Amino acid sequence: MPRRNKIALIGAGNIGGELAALAARSELGDVVLFDIAEKEGVAKGKALDLEQNGAVLGYDAGITGSSSWAEVAGSDVVIITAGVPRKPGMSRDDLLSVNLKIIRNVAENLKKHAPDAFVIVVSNPLDVMVYELKRVTGFAGNKVVGMAGVLDSGRFQLFLAREAGVAVKDVRAMVLGGHGDTMVPVVSYCTINGIPVRQIVPADKLAAIVERTRNGGGEIVKLMGTSAFYAPASAAISMATSYLKDQKRLLPAAAHLQGEYGYNDLYLGVPVVIGAGGVERVVTIELSAEEKAMLDKSAAAVRELIEASKNL
């Protein structure tokens, strides 16, 4: 007997609310919007508002707000945005000590209540948070993934499309590496409907776009005093959808590496295939010497933060 998917959203803040709206609107499944006891009213209020939104728009999804982990039990997908976002002037790494405690608490509870879920981590600093979630839960690497690459690539694609004067959907690009200042927009594989981008966008403009992409999150934090949430939510939902519908999309995501690209026991943004088996495989691509050097630098920065987290 077919049943509806169950999607638990841990954190009912800005991204959590938008995740719930997107999941409900596309009838991806029933949604549990979870937050801490002090924010249970917010979680319940957003859930009720979104159910009523369905009555207006004509979608049907059960949406529940809760601060009880029992409600999360049996989830097919869990998306974690629990934690604090950046304020102007902060780097993602500045969030480490606060969000580490939160992710450890979430991990202990998921281990108990949702051991079979496909887990997508969004909280920052992303690569360390997803590493810690896997370490504490002991879940298999293919069932724990981090969202950053889809968002960073989206930003890269948008800036390129605007510069080239073409439709954004015709620009294909990938951003790999850690979700921080060292991220690697991979220019050598970037195309506009198959045409290498270097044939269309001049080198100096390309360099400026790479730089703007690296600072894409910070640009928004500076404008509105907190992190982006529409595009981050859409990015995580595209990953959840690929899992639930076995779409086998090839997307950049923070994946558990065990020797791929020369890195062992590390989470880093690489191309992966997401289907019913979770992260079904890491796709290894050839990189130019310059790009591999950038990826090495990014991996070293993530490793350093993971080491720092061990003392916290």
Ligand X SMILES: NC(=O)c1ccc[n+]([C@@H]2O[C@H](COP(=O)([O-])OP(=O)(O)OC[C@H]3O[C@@H](n4cnc5c(N)ncnc54)[C@H](O)[C@@H]3O)[C@@H](O)[C@H]2O)c1
For ligand X, which is the closer residue by CB, 142 or 234?
Answer: 234
For ligand X, which is the closer residue by CB, 145 or 192?
Answer: 145
Of 155, 119, 154, residue with least CA distance to 267: 119
For ligand X, which is the closer residue by CB, 192 or 272?
Answer: 272
Other CB atoms within a 10 A radius of the CB of residue 4 amount to 13
Closest approach of Cβ 179 to ligand X, in Å? 6
Sheet holding 63-66, edge to edge: 63-66, 30-34, 6-10, 77-80, 118-121, 144-146, 249-258, 264-275, 278-282
The Cα–Cα gap between 165 and 128 comes to: 37
For ligand X, which is the closer residue by CB, 4 or 87?
Answer: 87
For ligand X, which is the closer residue by CB, 128 or 192?
Answer: 128
Q: Which helix (H) or strand (E) holds 250?
A: strand 249-258
Q: Which helix (H) or strand (E) holds 19?
A: helix 14-25
Catalytic residue (one of 6, 179, 214, 303): 179
Of 119, 111, 83, residue with least CA distance to 239: 119
Applying CB under 6 A, the residues found at the interface with ligand X are 10-16, 34-36, 39, 81-86, 95, 99, 102, 105-106, 122-124, 126, 147-148, 151, 179, 226-229, 232
For ligand X, which is the closer residue by CB, 201 or 274?
Answer: 274
Closest approach of Cβ 123 to ligand X, in Å? 4
Confirm whether 179 is a catalytic residue. Answer: yes
Tally helices (H) and strands (E) across the chain: 9, 14
Closest approach of Cβ 271 to ligand X, in Å? 17
Q: What are phi and psi of 16, to 5 degrees?
A: -55, -45
Contact criterion met (CB below 8 Å) for 31 and 25: no
Residue listed under structure tokens 């992966």: 272
Closest approach of Cβ 75 to ligand X, in Å? 14
Closest approach of Cβ 151 to ligand X, in Å? 4
In eight-state DSSP terms, residue 283 is P
The Cα–Cα gap between 124 and 103 comes to: 10
Contact criterion met (CB below 8 Å) for 221 and 227: yes
**Beta partners for residue 6, in sequence order:** 30
Q: What are the residues whose beta carbons fall under 8 Å from the beta carbon of 42, sequence distance 6 or more?
A: 12, 35, 65
The residue nearest ligand X at its CB is 13
Structure token pair of residue 157: 């694609």
Closest approach of Cβ 257 to ligand X, in Å? 18
Active centre residues (catalytic): 179
